[in-house]
Amino acid sequence: MEGGVCIRKFEELLPETEERYFVLQGKAFARCGDVPALVNEIAGRISSPFFSVDTVFAASGELRLIELGDGQVSDRKQWDGVLPKC
């Protein structure tokens, strides 16, 4: 959004649950474990060949989309090696 004002309802998020997923050619990849349904749904809706998806759990227990990245500045966050450390 460029310009203007956006007012949203405040929602408590659990920052320690933030996770980054990468999507390549419509297939989502997780650092560890399964890819959540929300991320798979997003992967199927975006036509870009590569992007990142950041999610976090709300205090209510619901998974929330935080950010979509174009892959140009997306670091690996917890993706620190070839084998996951989960």
Pick from 38, 12, 44: which is nearest to 26 by CA? 44
Whole-model pTM above 0.85?
no
The pLDDT tens digits of the residues spanning 2-54 come to 778 878 889 999 999 999 999 999 999 998 889 999 999 999 999 999 999 99
Cα dist from 59 to 9, 10, 11, 18, whole Å = 14, 11, 8, 12
Q: What is the DSSP string of 14-67?
A: EEEEEEEEEEETTEEE-SSSPPPHHHHHHHHH---SEEEEEEEEETTS-EEEEE
Pick from 41, 39, 42: which is nearest to 20 by CA? 39
